[in-house]
Structure 1
Amino acid sequence: MEQYAQVLNIAMPIFLLMILIEQFFEWKLGRKVSNNLDTVSSISSGITNVIKDVLGLTVSILSYKWLVDRVAIFEIENVWMVYVITFVAIDFKGYWQHRWEHKINILWNRHVIHHSSEEFNLACGLRQTISTVFSYFAFLLAPAAIVGVPVEVIATVAPLHLFLQFWYHTRLIGNMGILEHIIVTPSHHRVHHAVNKEYMDKNLGQIFIIWDKMFGTFQKEMPEVPCVYGISRPARTWNPIKINFQHFWVLLRDAFYARSWWDKLRIWFMPTGWRPEDVKEKFPIDSIQDPYTYQKYGQKSTKGFQRWAWAQLLFNYFLLIYLFAFIQDVGFTGALIYGGFVVLSVYSYTELMDRNPIALYLETFKSLIGLGLIFYMGSWFGATENLGFWYTAVVGCYMILSAGMTAFFTVKGTEPAAVGVKV
């Protein structure tokens, strides 16, 4: 837990810097590739994901350690070649896991958050799941287990493999020549994130594009078919926590109301998007019929409102840095409370971004909890001892300010919601 938290405290600033660099070139080149509220939503999703991962809130049905202990034929030496084998094995696993997440109803809920942005930029690469309760894909690492790749090597390479999937979420890099035949490039991944029928469920590779070419899921980006981004059943919210569970809620509701017991069972394992006919009639769901005329989710907002959304995001990132830096001092129970507070904060300010009046009550509740924690512990999770009283004072002032600003924007600080903007 502590080691991964320290790695994230190095990686997260790099990701944020890259997002800012992309936005600089967006401005410099005069190419619109981002939306302020969408970007805040994307980075907020990343915040909730890293909290879940650091706290280890996923149950492994089958662990790699269990697998390697039982199927290893020999133990490979811990030399440079083992890292190459491990990287390829993880990428092979990633391709098939990714493919099944696109094709099976219940597994799509693990992945839908990543595709939910109607933009395509580096920020949307941070949209990662918190809905994964169980992990059961370790069996796909059998090739590595058979040759005895140590657990420690898997644990070292896996985060690197994940981080290397960030850079290609951009519209500002065109064709990359010979690399288009070897690795996943921005062009390949633009296709993957598109809702155009020509592009759906294509280019599922994570680092190497060779898997798509081997298994028939490759599609080249076509100039005459411009990519339109998002999901076929639009999320229509900036709240990443809601997005994580929208699809699951549809499955649960449909299974409950379906008349056929067979439908109640098979809905979970049918192709993504399949619904029983009787519940489709009873609970119709809007979906994108024509991606070229679809209206993106977007609402009018003042510059001040957008700046406040950024301020909320950055302050919660400020809180997260402290948690990861001093997680050993905070302890597991304290980290659960701390992480829960940040997730509540994300839920609250993204509800405000959606113009939901409940945001005021949530923000007031959150601020009271924050002030209560400071009063109960005498400081903000030991911040006075670790950094000085200033940190606790800043956090306390934030609690009061956030409730006040939310009240201001709820009452009169935003324009009426708009339907959206045309793609």
Structure 2
Amino acid sequence: MRHAARSPLLALVMVALVLAEWLWRRRSAGTGYDSRGALASLAVGAGHLVSGVLPALVLGGLFAWAARWAPVHWPAGDWRTWLAAFFAVELAYYAFHRISHEVRWLWTTHAVHHTPEEMTLLSSIRLGWTSLLSFGWVCYLPLVLAGFDPRMVFALLAFNLHYQFFLHTEAVGRLGPLEWVLNTPSHHRVHHGSNAAYLDCNYGGVLIVFDRLFGTLRTERADEPVRYGLAHPLGTQNPLKLVFLPWLRLMSDMRAAGSLGGALRVALGRP
């Protein structure tokens, strides 16, 4: 969400919705509001903004360099290029998101986002600080090598992430036919579930169509209320611990593996 500050109007809308959701949860929904969790999300989100400066600079330069090797360069002024790039970015995001749940090295950064035990709009900004180290950005390099302008890729990815802010809420129910095509709050609530029935599914960004195509779609069930958070909770709202405890656990397990091969199996295996 680090691009939000570039749009004061969007930031104002987000703040207004956070306040409206706070009122709704306290007065209408009767679920209360986890103030400590909200403050932790704000702290982690602020840290993400600061820690994102270096990755933005490094990846901006890397992707610009990679673009020089592309055999073709699709015209950025053509709407068809933007349409094709939108679907390409959605597919790359699906791949990145799925791998982040299936490979522990990437999960260690992404797990931060799954630590909230309450589904609110503020939980959307609880993002890891180590994206450069986890190498998830590799999923987007093929788009640049295929001829899409890196600025276009970054712009569409920013749109993807901003869209997902609105998915982190219990205030919106199912959305009828839109559920077939778009990622919705209902789909994303399931994605954040730590129930065995809901683990590792609904990886889409704006669209849910790739989950339908690849068999990773699951829907909310009336007989299975979503339980949010990690399957193995960290037991803390300390921002530094939320960000770095998963890495400490990973390093400990890699050392305990006893060999380089064993350590690699731990790092590249499932979380």
Check whether TM > 0.5. yes
1:110 Cα deviation from its structure 2 partner: 1.4
Distance 1:214 1:62 in 2: 34
Is this contact kept in 1: 2:64–2:150, CA < 8 A? yes
**Aligned partner letter, 1:252:** M
SS of the counterpart of 2:165? coil
Is this contact kept in 1: 2:191–2:200, CA < 8 A? yes
Distance 1:251 1:61 in 2: 29
Is this contact kept in 2: 1:62–1:137, CA < 8 A? no
Distance 1:17 1:72 in 2: 46
Is this contact kept in 2: 1:93–1:141, CA < 8 A? no
Distance 1:53 1:262 in 2: 32
Is this contact kept in 2: 1:62–1:139, CA < 8 A? no
For residues 126-173 of structure 1, what are the alpha-carbon distances to aligned partners after superposition, in whole Å with 9 as ceiling and x for unaligned? 111112233453454535642x32223223333222111100111111
Where does residue 231 of structure 1 map in the other structure? 230
Runs of 5+ in structure 1 lacking a partner? 273-423
1:66 Cα deviation from its structure 2 partner: 3.2
What is the identity percentage for the equivalent residue pairs of Structure 1 and Structure 2? 26
Distance 2:238 2:151 in 1: 36
1:121 Cα deviation from its structure 2 partner: 1.1
For residues 21-43 of structure 1, what are the alpha-carbon distances to aligned partners after superposition, in whole Å with 9 as ceiling and x for unaligned? 11122234133163111111112
Distance 1:33 1:96, change over 3 A: farther
Distance 1:77 1:170, change over 3 A: closer
SS of the counterpart of 1:137? helix
Is this contact kept in 2: 1:119–1:230, CA < 8 A? yes
More divergent stretch after superposition (74-83 vs 115-124): 74-83
Where does residue 137 of structure 2 map in the other structure? 137
Distance 1:56 1:231 in 2: 26
Distance 2:4 2:198 in 1: 36
Q: Which has the higher contact order (CA 8 A, sep 6+)?
A: 2
More divergent stretch after superposition (107-116 vs 125-134): 125-134
User: Is 1:44–2:17 an aligned residue pair?
Assistant: no
Distance 2:5 2:111 in 1: 28
SS of the counterpart of 2:197? coil
Where does residue 82 of structure 2 map in the other structure? 83
User: Is 1:206–2:172 an aligned residue pair?
Assistant: no
Q: Which has the larger radius of gyration?
A: 1
Distance 1:78 1:84 in 2: 11
1:234 Cα deviation from its structure 2 partner: 0.5
Is this contact kept in 2: 1:195–1:231, CA < 8 A? yes
Where does residue 126 of structure 1 map in the other structure? 125
1:239 Cα deviation from its structure 2 partner: 1.6
- Over aligned residues, Cα RMSD in angstroms? 2.5
Distance 1:123 1:139 in 2: 27
1:62 Cα deviation from its structure 2 partner: 9.0
**Aligned partner letter, 1:221:** E
Distance 1:55 1:99, change over 3 A: same
**TM-score scaled by length of structure 2:** 0.89
For residues 296-338 of structure 1, what are the alpha-carbon distances to aligned partners after superposition, in whole Å with 9 as ceiling and x for unaligned? xxxxxxxxxxxxxxxxxxxxxxxxxxxxxxxxxxxxxxxxxxx
**TM-score scaled by length of structure 1:** 0.59
1:259 Cα deviation from its structure 2 partner: 3.2
**Aligned partner letter, 2:155:** T
Distance 1:36 1:20 in 2: 12
Where does residue 101 of structure 1 map in the other structure? 100
**Aligned partner letter, 1:212:** D
Is this contact kept in 2: 1:95–1:205, CA < 8 A? yes
For residues 234-264 of structure 1, what are the alpha-carbon distances to aligned partners after superposition, in whole Å with 9 as ceiling and x for unaligned? 0211122211121111121122233344323
Aligned length: 269
Distance 1:229 1:239 in 2: 18
Is this contact kept in 2: 1:98–1:204, CA < 8 A? yes
User: Is 1:244–2:243 an aligned residue pair?
Assistant: yes
